[in-house]
Amino acid sequence: MGDNKKFDLDEILTFFKTINPNKSQSTYTTMKYNLMRISKMAKIDFTEINELILQPKYLECAMNKYSVNTQIQSILGIELWIKYKLAKLSIGSKSKIEKYNALKLKWDGILKSLCNEKNETINKNEMTETEKNNWIDYDDLLKKWVVLINNKLEDNTPKNVLKLFTEWRDITMASLFILIPPTRIGNYETMRIRYMKTQDAKSLKQDRNYLMIDERPDVEHKYTLCFNRYKTAKFVGQVCEHITQKKMIQVLDKYIELRLVILPINKYKYQETDTLFINGDTLSQLSQSYITETLKKTTKKYIDKKLSCDIFRKIFLTWFLSDNTKSINDKQKLAKFVGQTYQPSMMEKYKKITENKKNEPILVVFD
């Protein structure tokens, strides 16, 4: 491939997946949007991007219109483009290799500066303007959402099945970020419905995530969330937890009933149609961006707050960590469910819980 050879977005994404074979689908999707954003900032077709266009001085103005985090992601896309260009240059192209390495070095410096800025902001624990405008304390969020669910469950107004399905699909998605600890969208994006034949989740294929349903009479736990493929799976491993939150169980009962009407499931073998969340019209799996926008629209509609996955997590963790009765074990178990690891400081290990633990609030996901 010569220095002037063009390549398209799919080509570079295939390269990214090849050098990062064990990343989650959400990581691949994020990188796709990073690359598309470069084209948008440069106001040029992706195949026309070159070394001159990717000079920081040409993209600085357009990039500054985005948040710090989006700028960081955009630079990761630019550096992937450079890496792919280097991989395709002939071995004897010393001057060209030096040119692209010099370009990467420029972006490395900007990336480091932005990461430092982001970390400084994070460490201040201050809200952004967007967070301030959409913030709601977790206790209030939970109360409002439970009232909404109760009203919806009692509503017997005749509705078109597709419309009713879409309504409960959106409520169910939001409930997974409100009624139980909010993990990442990627955990649910490709989730499949599986009817349990065994209590051992390890017997299922571990190349996907599951909502496991146990239909046996008088079973203690009807629904189990099992995460195998997600952003931090390499470090955290398989996570399986029974859903014990009663309101969440009611929501799932209603949604699964409608989901099976829209698209039936063969309980005895794997199928692509097992996907938990689908588009009612096309019956296709929802994209991460679709879920993100749906969460915002749903919460804006019902509680007048436009909540993203990121804000859900901040609202919940602010509430959770303010409870001084939470033990290190509580924090480690919560962290594992949301796809993180929790390493307590030595000072925290010295702390003792001297008061009786309060009764758990309506949020209960774990045994």
Residue 4 in domain: no
- What does the angle CA 265 – CA 287 – CA 66 come to, to the nearest 5 degrees? 165
Is the per-residue pLDDT at 204 higher than 90?
Answer: no
Q: How confident is the model at residue 352 (pLDDT cuts 50, 70, 90)?
A: confident
Exposed (0-12), middle (13-18) or buried (19+): which is 88, by Cβ within 10 Å? middle
115 contacts: CB under 8 Å, gap ≥ 6: 72
250 plus 281 within the same structural domain = yes
Task: Identify the sign of the CA torsion 163, 365, 177, 337.
Answer: negative
Residue 59 in domain: yes
Q: How confident is the model at residue 366 (pLDDT cuts 50, 70, 90)?
A: very low
Q: Average pLDDT over the chain, rounded to whole?
A: 88
pLDDT score at 345? 77
Is the per-residue pLDDT at 129 higher than 50?
Answer: yes
Which of the pair, 65 or 367, is modelled with greater confidence?
65
Type and span of the H or E element at 195: strand 192-195
CATH number for the domain harbouring residue 198? 1.10.443
CA 361 to chain centroid:
25
155 plus 40 within the same structural domain = no
Q: Are 80 and 35 in contact (CB under 8 A)?
A: yes
As a whole number, mean pLDDT of residues 134-158 equals: 95
Q: Are 189 and 279 in contact (CB under 8 A)?
A: no
Alpha-carbon gap, residue 199 to 330, rounded angstroms: 24
135 plus 115 within the same structural domain = no
As a whole number, mean pLDDT of residues 339-350 equals: 78
Residue 311 lies in domain: 131-350
Q: Which of 286, 320, 274, 296 is nearest to 180 (CA)?
A: 320
177 plus 323 within the same structural domain = yes
As a whole number, mean pLDDT of residues 196-214 equals: 78
72 plus 135 within the same structural domain = no
114 plus 15 within the same structural domain = yes
pLDDT score at 201? 67
pLDDT score at 356? 56
41, 43, 44, 50 alpha-carbon torsion, rounded to 10°: -50
| 98-124 as b/e: b if 16+ CB within 10 A | ebbeebbeebeebbeebeeeeeeeeee
Which of the pair, 128 or 103, is modelled with greater confidence?
103
Tokens, residue 329: 């074990």
pLDDT digits (tens, 9 = 90+) for 38-71: 999 999 999 999 999 999 999 999 999 998 999 9
CA 130 to chain centroid:
19
Q: How confident is the model at residue 4 (pLDDT cuts 50, 70, 90)?
A: low
307 plus 217 within the same structural domain = yes
Q: How confident is the model at residue 361 (pLDDT cuts 50, 70, 90)?
A: very low
pLDDT score at 27? 85
Type and span of the H or E element at 193: strand 192-195
Number of domains the chain is built from? 2
Alpha-carbon gap, residue 33 to 85, rounded angstroms: 19
Q: Where a domain ends, among 124, 148, 177?
A: 124
Exposed (0-12), middle (13-18) or buried (19+): which is 277, by Cβ within 10 Å? buried
pLDDT score at 363? 46
Q: Which of 30, 17, 25 is nearest to 231 (CA)?
A: 25
Q: Where a domain ends, among 65, 89, 124?
A: 124
160 plus 199 within the same structural domain = yes
For the ranges 185-189, 243-247, 345-349, the lowest mean pLDDT is seen at: 345-349
Residue 366 in domain: no
Residue 367 in domain: no
pLDDT digits (tens, 9 = 90+) for 295-337: 999 999 999 999 999 999 999 999 998 888 888 889 999 989 9
For the ranges 87-101, 269-283, 303-317, the lowest mean pLDDT is seen at: 87-101
Q: Where a domain ends, among 104, 124, 144?
A: 124
Is the per-residue pLDDT at 104 higher than 70?
Answer: yes
120 plus 136 within the same structural domain = no
Is the per-residue pLDDT at 218 higher than 50?
Answer: yes
250 plus 336 within the same structural domain = yes
72 plus 197 within the same structural domain = no
283 contacts: CB under 8 Å, gap ≥ 6: 262, 263, 273
Type and span of the H or E element at 192: strand 192-195
Is the per-residue pLDDT at 1 higher than 60?
Answer: no
Is the per-residue pLDDT at 339 higher than 90?
Answer: no
pLDDT digits (tens, 9 = 90+) for 310-321: 999 999 999 998
Q: Which of 130, 165, 145, 169 is nearest to 314 (CA)?
A: 130
Type and span of the H or E element at 290: helix 288-303
Residue 210 in domain: yes
Residue 9, amino acid: L
| 282-312 as b/e: b if 16+ CB within 10 A | eeebbebeebbebbbebbeebbebbbbbebb
Q: Which of 341, 319, 306, 171 is nearest to 251 (CA)?
A: 171
Residue tagged 């019902």 (tokens):
302
Q: Are 42 and 62 in contact (CB under 8 A)?
A: yes
Residue 221 in domain: yes
As a whole number, mean pLDDT of residues 353-361 equals: 54
Residue 345 in domain: yes
Residue 360 in domain: no
Q: Are 4 and 12 in contact (CB under 8 A)?
A: no
Alpha-carbon gap, residue 71 to 115, rounded angstroms: 10
Helices 309-321 and 288-303 meet at what angle, rounded to 10? 60
